[in-house]
Structure 1
Amino acid sequence: MWELLIIIVPSAIAYTMPLLMGALGGLYSERSGVTNLCIEGLMLFGCFASAATIVKLQAIPGFSFNLAIVIGIVVAMLASTLLAALHAIASINLKADQTISGTAINMLSSALSLFLAQTITGSGNITVVRAVIRSDVPILSKIPVIGPLFFSETYWTTWICIAVWVISYFLLYKTSFGLRLRACGEHPSAVASAGVNVHKMRYIGVLTSGFLSGLGGACILVTYAGEYNAGSGINGLGFLAIAALIFGQWKPLGILGSTAFFGLCMTIANIGRILPAFSGIPMAVLGAFPYIATLIALVFSSKKSAAPLASGQPF
């Protein structure tokens, strides 16, 4: 059992972090009152942008590998933020149907990233020569039981994502900014009467969703994926992030728990086929396990939905 945990837990953490960033991005947007169904497209575009940037930089003789990774992640966040701006303009300024706008962004992201990838490589796939290397956390990795599970062989991007989650929790629940943002998603008319610019707050929420989703897409690339694949994209992880947002009841703590659950499901689906403990389960069942678990989780969580009251309603 211990050997099984040593394999599963670090991998589950790696799968959890991109989901956590995507779900957090959706949280900012929907708490501001804008329904965001384009997390999939934003994460996909972030994955593509980081892959293209890293490959181009690594082709420069003598260019630092670590610096290329960092620049690639930053470019991913900025590129997804620009794409999210289209959703913000359509939803806030033009008062378009937010569900249709999100769907359109997903389609645009898929088509645009495929076209650009084919232009760059000819095949549509962009493979990063090297990605982030796992390493132990000094001192903490030596703690009995906890150390080998959570602090041994981790990615440094994991700690960035955890820091973002902590900052987000503080911003949303311990600051006046967070209070205004959440109020815009509940009673925008009351907030506007108090002198708060609702459109500005919603723009911040949507652009932040793009920023964090881009980080999630880049984390997929530089940790376990290692390439942008035009055929498979990000395998629906953006939609799983939306499901985690709903399952987590639009709250940071709930999102952390739900993304950890879905990350574990993704781990079982991806590495379960090589583990003796899961050898008797057909591969098709293992592959479908995360999505089956998502449906079951949403069935139980939908009865007590805590969605923002004004989410999806133009102002």
Structure 2
Amino acid sequence: MVLLIQYTLLFASVLILVALGGCFSEHSGVINLGLEGIMVIGALGGALTLKYISPNTPAFLIVLAVIAAAVVSGVVYSVLLAVACINLKADQTLVGTALNMLAAAAATVIVKSINIAENPDNVSSTVQYVQTKKALVVTIGSFQFNWFMLVALIALILAYVVLYKTKFGLRLMACGEHPQAADSVGINVYTMRWAGVLISGMLAGIGGIVYITAGVSEWKFEVGVAGFGFLALAVMIFGQWKPINIGLAALLFGFFRALSNVYSGFDFLAALNIPGSVYNMMPYIISLIVLAFTSSNSRAPKAEGIPYDKGSR
């Protein structure tokens, strides 16, 4: 049971971070379907930092360095989305899809190039971080507390405060609802949309490194992040683009994802003789069922997905 709670909180942390990223982007008016790709690139930056940083570095500094690398990687990659969708007014769905396809391929090439440079016989796309990964976890009794759980909680609180209690957040949401009206009162819609996309890159980048370090000490980048970016989009929609609801939805989806890791430890589940692949599919099946019954009542930001044209009224 302790292990189930541990994995639930960890996977929920991933979903909270990435879904909040999508929330900021869509509140600004830009649909970010590239969350999956941004997670991969953020995970790459964080994983390489874990690989090369000295294991003797204080744990606190390792955590900060990994977060910083994931943030920078995610933000830089999200610039591609911002330029294409905000400045060039490209189709946001197509750009996001292209970024997802590019990320895994680019990460694989980068990691293979690094591995070959270090050892010509090593052509794998795997990054190992066995020793330094220990700095991310603090053992409390039989429970392993991951520092990223705290990061996700802080991000959730800050997202609520920023969106609903600050001028920046209110202006951001205005740009996703009525950009022409926002522009008429002096709000720079392009700037706010850039801010929304870059914030989404920051959060999704952190979510990527949290995901790949959840249970293993190495990661093969050919597999990407197993659709977790799309699962985060489902969490965002189910949570109605509201931080608190997103947090609750993330716990639900995180629970079903955690079951695939620990189901063998429960006698009544093991007795059912259900293949492990079914448990792996469960969070995605649940997302389809939930969205099928709730999407008709969803209220997305009115101007999301619509390129802003300053000359149109």
TM-score (norm 2): 0.90
For residues 1-315 of structure 1, the aligned pairs below 5 Å read: 4=1, 6-58=2-54, 62-64=56-58, 66-121=60-115, 122-130=123-131, 131=133, 132-136=136-140, 152-279=143-270, 280=272, 281-315=274-308
SS in 1 for 2:101: helix
Q: Supply the distance in 1 between the matched residues of 2:54 and 2:263 (Cα, whole angstroms).
A: 33
How many residues are matched? Answer: 296
Q: CA deviation at 1:66?
A: 4.7
Q: Supply the distance in 2 between the matched residues of 1:227 and 1:69 (Cα, whole angstroms).
A: 17
Q: Supply the distance in 2 between the matched residues of 1:284 and 1:191 (Cα, whole angstroms).
A: 48
Amino acid of the structure 2 residue aligned with 1:112: A
Q: CA deviation at 1:63?
A: 4.3
RMSD over aligned Cα, in angstroms? 1.7
Q: Supply the distance in 1 between the matched residues of 2:144 and 2:127 (Cα, whole angstroms).
A: 26
Amino acid of the structure 2 residue aligned with 1:285: V
Is the alpha carbon distance of 1:232 and 1:277 closer, same or farther for their aligned partners in structure 2, counting shifts above 3 Å? Answer: farther
Please name the residue that 1:145 is paired with.
Answer: none
Larger CA deviation: 50-59 vs 82-91:
50-59
SS in 2 for 1:225: coil
Is the alpha carbon distance of 1:123 and 1:66 closer, same or farther for their aligned partners in structure 2, counting shifts above 3 Å? Answer: farther
Structure 2: tracts of 5 or more residues without a match: 116-122, 309-313
Larger CA deviation: 273-282 vs 92-101:
273-282
Q: Supply the distance in 1 between the matched residues of 2:196 and 2:79 (Cα, whole angstroms).
A: 10
Larger CA deviation: 31-40 vs 114-123:
114-123
Amino acid of the structure 1 residue aligned with 2:165: K
Does structure 2 conserve the Cα–Cα contact (< 8 Å) formed by 1:58 and 1:65?
no
Q: CA deviation at 1:159?
A: 0.8
Q: Supply the distance in 2 between the matched residues of 1:175 and 1:227 (Cα, whole angstroms).
A: 40
Does structure 1 conserve the Cα–Cα contact (< 8 Å) formed by 2:104 and 2:223?
no
Q: Which digits, 9 at most, give the CA deviation of each residue in 1:246-299, with x for residues without a partner?
A: 111111111111111110010012221343231112223212111111100111
SS in 2 for 1:231: helix
Amino acid of the structure 1 residue aligned with 2:139: S
Q: CA deviation at 1:306?
A: 1.1
Does structure 1 conserve the Cα–Cα contact (< 8 Å) formed by 2:212 and 2:225?
no
Q: Which digits, 9 at most, give the CA deviation of each residue in 1:20-76, with x for residues without a partner?
A: 1000000000000000001111111111111112212238xx544553343122111
Structure 1: tracts of 5 or more residues without a match: 142-147
Amino acid of the structure 2 residue aligned with 1:253: I
Q: Supply the distance in 1 between the matched residues of 2:224 and 2:111 (Cα, whole angstroms).
A: 12
Amino acid of the structure 2 residue aligned with 1:244: V
Does structure 2 conserve the Cα–Cα contact (< 8 Å) formed by 1:269 and 1:290?
no
Amino acid of the structure 1 residue aligned with 2:288: L
